[in-house]
Structure 1
């Protein structure tokens, strides 16, 4: 069954959300917030005291051709913020126009965690995603992105469509991790150099990390998975975890397990699960 193209404005949604987190007294506050179009953030939550948890919302519920979404987040010295989303972001099939989502994160002596739900790319979509992370020498970062190509639960593969996804992480303006995924239809899902017919690809990044962090994560990735495979490596001081498989739920479970293990090592704080994950 082919998914319908949801109604939209002729030029698509033009949305931008800018967030600035600052340390004040004994906690991190959302000191700056501006928005244009249908991107918003709920009021901050403090399930672990000083760390500010914020949920990024996209009320239309999906992204269509012509939409341009931009998320900007800055974290000031001594501030600590955790951003997540309440549900999956759906990129619907396109009417010919391109949909774009850009994320720009800048951390200066603080801590940022970007832990969203998955992105689901419907067959026939035309999407460009870009994540740029800029860290200073003292900044700390944990983030992940989980992409699901097609809708495997109902046996609907990403047989046609386009996806270009890129992630760039810099420390002190020096590139530490640059990644690019280009999918131009079903042919790129096959083959040893492609996605090996697997619809779910996910990446977790954590920095600064060292050999002790790598050694602790290796057994978690070596544990056999029911629907995929995982691996971990260390590039400079960036821990990189990859998942390739058939289940977004399995990718989330693995990444959350790893997050609970590495968060004390990377940020100095024990993991406290965002409330929205339990709903």
Structure 2
């Protein structure tokens, strides 16, 4: 891989005095974190990951690792979109690893990822869960910048998500996309729709959770959103043309999963309102 910026961020969360606190952090390169906020009654820590350069260039590597001690609860998000620029210097890499202890809950809810035309991106997320830990994570990806008419014609994306519970895989997905020769326009691929989203929930759930999600979304989800109850995870999908639509649908599904699975009301990070 060609040379680029290599940034690392490692965070340790644990309960203390009725709240989940960021006990320790380690970082090098252009990755940082603000102090934790505690807007919820159960003491969940809301943390914003910062990447001061504002975008990921060819050859850059970002490694983010989060450790949640038993009973710790954290909501991890970003203040803005993650941008992968046109690559002229090798593959841009982002790796996220999350380890959740017994009774812990982690919600990995970043803002959207935007792949500029010509980007060459590799994005991987690995989650390990204790027996009774819970996880919600989403990714919303824009292939190109449709708002200004930019299409994803020559770029590449490789994305992988792995979730393990007590060392056993419960979800594994790998996606490889290429804009070459208009392949993404094919009906068997993305049918020309530039916004792709996946949300995975691994945790307790009521039997009718998927029906409750569908009912809460109503006609707004028609033709662009789906939800599936698998053996050990619930998976939501979005494939459409507007990031604002995908985010709104995922946000409502997240509210239902929180209330029906985690048994607590949804409290959106304040940074989303700015």
TM-score class normalised by the smaller sequence: over 0.9
Given that residues 222 and 230 in structure 1 are in contact (C-alpha distance below 8 angstroms), is that contact kept between their aligned partners in structure 2?
A: no
Change (3 A) 1:221 1:232: farther
| Alignment equivalent of 2:11, drawn from 6, 13, 19 | 19
Residue deviations 1:139-169 (CA, integer Å, cap 9, x gap): 0111100000000001110011111011111
Residue 222 of structure 1 deviates from its aligned partner by 5.0
Given that residues 221 and 230 in structure 1 are in contact (C-alpha distance below 8 angstroms), is that contact kept between their aligned partners in structure 2?
A: no
Q: Secondary structure at the match of 2:224?
A: strand
C-alpha separation between the residues in 2 aligned to 1:96 and 1:195? 28
C-alpha separation between the residues in 2 aligned to 1:194 and 1:251? 18
- State the match for 2:59 in structure 1: 66
Given that residues 154 and 178 in structure 2 are in contact (C-alpha distance below 8 angstroms), is that contact kept between their aligned partners in structure 1?
A: yes
| Alignment equivalent of 2:31, drawn from 21, 28, 39 | 39
Given that residues 92 and 121 in structure 1 are in contact (C-alpha distance below 8 angstroms), is that contact kept between their aligned partners in structure 2?
A: yes
Map 1:236-247; keep pairs closer than 5 Å.
Answer: 236-247=231-242
Unmatched segments (≥5 aa) in structure 2: none
Residue deviations 1:97-145 (CA, integer Å, cap 9, x gap): 1110000011112000011100000011111000111111110111100
Given that residues 206 and 266 in structure 1 are in contact (C-alpha distance below 8 angstroms), is that contact kept between their aligned partners in structure 2?
A: no
Given that residues 137 and 199 in structure 2 are in contact (C-alpha distance below 8 angstroms), is that contact kept between their aligned partners in structure 1?
A: yes
| Alignment equivalent of 2:21, drawn from 5, 29, 35 | 29
Q: Secondary structure at the match of 2:257?
A: helix
Residue 225 of structure 1 deviates from its aligned partner by 4.5
Identify the range of structure 1 (142-151 vs 189-198) with the bigger mean alpha-carbon deviation. 189-198
Change (3 A) 1:176 1:188: farther
Given that residues 162 and 185 in structure 1 are in contact (C-alpha distance below 8 angstroms), is that contact kept between their aligned partners in structure 2?
A: yes
Change (3 A) 1:88 1:16: same
Aligned residues: 269
- State the match for 2:166 in structure 1: 172
Residue 52 of structure 1 deviates from its aligned partner by 0.5
Q: TM-score, normalised by structure 2?
A: 0.94
1:97 aligns to 2:90 (yes or no):
yes
C-alpha separation between the residues in 2 aligned to 1:220 and 1:242? 15
C-alpha separation between the residues in 1 aligned to 2:229 and 2:166? 18
1:137 aligns to 2:162 (yes or no):
no
Given that residues 23 and 79 in structure 1 are in contact (C-alpha distance below 8 angstroms), is that contact kept between their aligned partners in structure 2?
A: yes
Change (3 A) 1:197 1:220: farther
C-alpha separation between the residues in 1 aligned to 2:144 and 2:34? 29
Residue 221 of structure 1 deviates from its aligned partner by 5.1
C-alpha separation between the residues in 2 aligned to 1:214 and 1:270? 17
- State the match for 2:151 in structure 1: 157
CA RMSD of aligned residues (A): 1.5
Given that residues 100 and 127 in structure 1 are in contact (C-alpha distance below 8 angstroms), is that contact kept between their aligned partners in structure 2?
A: yes
- State the match for 1:224 in structure 2: 220
1:211 aligns to 2:211 (yes or no):
no
Given that residues 178 and 184 in structure 2 are in contact (C-alpha distance below 8 angstroms), is that contact kept between their aligned partners in structure 1?
A: no
C-alpha separation between the residues in 1 aligned to 2:140 and 2:105? 21
